[in-house]
């Protein structure tokens, strides 16, 4: 099995309204979304999927977040905007990206970095 990983960053503000601490106030991050997909066969170019193509799929989802206040977004999964944590963003991106991937690939993990040393990931079937 092969696995490839791409990263995409976006800038956005959020606040965690029920959190007892500094993150209850509005603040921003440069978020990094790290996506890994796996599959068993390579295409005629020796690629699982072109990195550029996978990054474009991630961008399709994260462009709605870029330079936004996450708590104000209208998303199908309202938990994400009520509690816009790295964990909830990772799950939301995982679910959305799963709809875009070709059937020969499986999404193994979405990891959302809120800073250089803090991240949350979401995966299924583990």
CA proximity to 12, closest of 109, 114, 90: 114
- 3 included as an active-site residue: no
Count of beta carbons in the 10 Å neighbourhood of residue 6 = 19
Q: At what angle do helices 86-100 and 51-62 cross, to 10 degrees?
A: 120
Buried b (16+ CB within 10 A) or exposed e, 45-74: eeebbeeeebeebbeebbeebeeeebbeee
Tokens describing residue 7: 């990263």
Residue 87 annotated as catalytic: no
Catalytic residue among 14, 29, 34, 114: 114
- The DSSP secondary-structure symbol of 53 reads H
Q: Which of 3, 56, 67, 124 is catalytic?
A: 67
| Catalytic-labelled residue, pool 3, 23, 34, 83 | 23
Active site (annotated) includes residue 14: no
Q: Which residues are catalytic, by number?
A: 23, 67, 114
């Amino acid at each position: 099995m092969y696995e490839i990983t791409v990263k995409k960053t976006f800038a956005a503000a959020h606040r965690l309204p029920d959190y007892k601490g500094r993150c209850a106030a509005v603040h921003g991050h440069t978020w990094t979304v790290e996506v890994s997909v796996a599959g068993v066969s390579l295409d005629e170019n020796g690629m699982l999927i072109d990195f550029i193509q996978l990054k474009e799929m991630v961008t399709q989802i994260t462009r709605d977040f870029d330079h936004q206040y996450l708590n104000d977004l209208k998303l199908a999964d309202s938990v994400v905007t009520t509690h816009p944590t790295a964990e909830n963003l990772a799950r939301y991106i995982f679910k959305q990206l799963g709809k875009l991937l070709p059937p020969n690939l499986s999404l193994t993990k979405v990891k959302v970095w809120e800073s250089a040393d803090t991240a949350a990931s979401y995966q299924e079937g583990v």
